[in-house]
Structure 1
Amino acid sequence: MNNLVVKICGILDVPTIESMLNLPIDYIGFVFAKSRRQVTPGQVADMIQALGNHHIKVPETAGVFVNPSEQELEETVRHASLDIIQLHGQESPEFCKWVKQSLNVKVFKVFSNLHQIVMRDDSTNSYEQVDEECSKLLNPYVNQIDALMLDTYDPVVGGGTGETFNWELIPIVQRWTKKNNVPLIVAGGLDVDNVRSLISTYAPDGVDVSSGVETNRIKDVKKIKTFVERVRVNV
């Protein structure tokens, strides 16, 4: 990822996809985990086919899962030709490796509970101590994932809650991602009002939004357009 990338997640239908095709969006996401935005492999296959009907560069497609089985992923990819598997659970480095090698896809690994581990109330903890703890957790994922994602923790759906997390975590993880050349994508409660602040303060490699571009729980094309415009300002 050489430039700041944009991912719009939780897509449910072809009209929403077609409304975004002329926008500079890099990834679109489909939620297979239990969620109000959950879709089936058949539905996603139809949406991906609709993408292919347009003779322009289209976004890459990501499937969102929480602790899936190998069989679930194999069956899903057999129906829907996803480019990326996005993992929101407690998937191990070994599982990520299997996904990349066996399914021939990219892997985006979401970490939504790092703040519970690497951020301490004890002010005596030094940068070195925190970095060591972060590296201990993340080093096994080097070469097994194509991007690291930060999201707000939710024990059921994994993400997409519309709530932000403590952004002070970002520089801690960012030191690791830069050192290991792993792109960092930030999700969790982003919207048209706060995305510029995130980008100008922390300069992640990418941003991911779902509920932040919805109105009454439905994707709002105007909000998507505004979100993308605000991301792309001075990028």
Structure 2
Amino acid sequence: MAEAKVKICGLQDVEVLKSMVHLPVDYIGLVFAPSRRKVSPEQASGLISILADWRTSQAPIAAGVFVDPDMDELYKILSAAPLGVIQLHGTESPAFCREVKEAFPGVQVWKALSVAAQGGEVNHELALESYAGTIDAVLLDTYDSAQRGGSGRTFAWEQIPDYHKRARAIGVSLYVAGGLSPDNVGGLLTAYAPDGVDVSSGVESDGVKDIAKITAFVERVKQS
């Protein structure tokens, strides 16, 4: 089984990122959608510049998190901040995902799907199969009526195998987010073996990224 990828999302502070340069992190997430973790294109550019100092064999890829952006917003942000992933967290259609993929060659497109805590896919109109050929990965996150992601709550993990099978059928990777922490990520990986995991609030203390928790999370992932 391939080693799971790890994404640390919601980064805002250059010093925190500098403290991570020795860790085998695969992706860093920069939030451009409305959020307390939102960064400006200029902030994102400064954070991305730190990736050149990474001390592991491969530097992380910068992923930008968007909710129902228009193409003008994407062009503006990517001209300032060279992202390797565009992560779409809203109700973006397969046609829009295809437009993004064609507009930014070489940039991965990830589509987030909200999954209810007690079972059942929330966005029924966003059938995973309809995104075949338009995305590189699907990210499962916990449905929250008040916000897109960052809820700090897990969803019903027993749904993962079905999504994993469907993702494999259309040739895309499957990532899991929502309520992950150093304490539970090992169990997730052992039981369900997603291609990667995405964490934000689970590596924070009092709303601020905590390098000890980030280190523990990355170690749990890479040891599983």
d(CA) in 2 for partners of 1:156 and 1:43? 26
Question: d(CA) in 1 for partners of 2:68 and 2:145?
Answer: 12
Pairing 1:47-58 to 2, within 5 Å after superposition: 47-53=47-53, 57-58=58-59
Q: How many angstroms apart in 2 are the aligned matches of 1:184 and 1:149?
A: 6
What are the ranges of 5 or more consecutive residues in structure 1 without an aligned counterpart? 119-132
Alignment of 1:161-172 (within 5 A): 161-172=151-162
The gaps in structure 2 that reach 5 residues or longer are: none
Would you say the 8 A contact 1:60–1:83 is kept in 2? yes
Distance 2:93 2:211 in 1: 36
Shift >6 Å, 4+ stretches: none
Tell me which of 96, 108, 114 is aligned to 1:112: 114
Higher mean Cα deviation, 172-181 or 25-34?
Answer: 172-181
Equivalent residue number for residue 199 of structure 1: 189
The CA distance in 2 between the partners of 1:42 and 1:52, in whole Å, is 17
Contact (CA 8 Å) 1:191, 1:209: kept in 2 or not?
Answer: yes
Q: Say which of 123, 144, 147 aligns to 2:134.
A: 144
**Could you tell which deviates more after superposition, 82-91 or 101-110?**
101-110
Determine which structure has the larger helix proportion and give its number.
Answer: 1
Q: Which residue of 2 aligns with 1:23?
A: 23
- For normalisation by structure 1, the TM-score amounts to 0.87
Change in CA separation of 1:53 and 1:20 when aligned onto 2, cut-off 3 Å: closer
Please name the residue that 1:101 is paired with. 102
* Equivalent pair of 1:33/1:157 in contact (CA under 8 Å): no
Give the percent of matched residue pairs that are identical in Structure 1 and Structure 2.
49
**TM-aligned CA deviation for residue 161 of structure 1:** 1.1
Secondary structure class of the residue paired with 2:111: strand
Number of residue pairs the alignment of both structures matches = 219
After TM superposition, the structure 1 stretch with the greater mean CA deviation from structure 2, 74-83 or 49-58, is 49-58
Aligned 1:1-40 pairs, distance under 5 A: 2-40=2-40
Letter matched to residue 79 of structure 1? A
Aligned residue for 1:168, secondary structure, equals helix
TM-score, structure 2 as length reference: 0.91
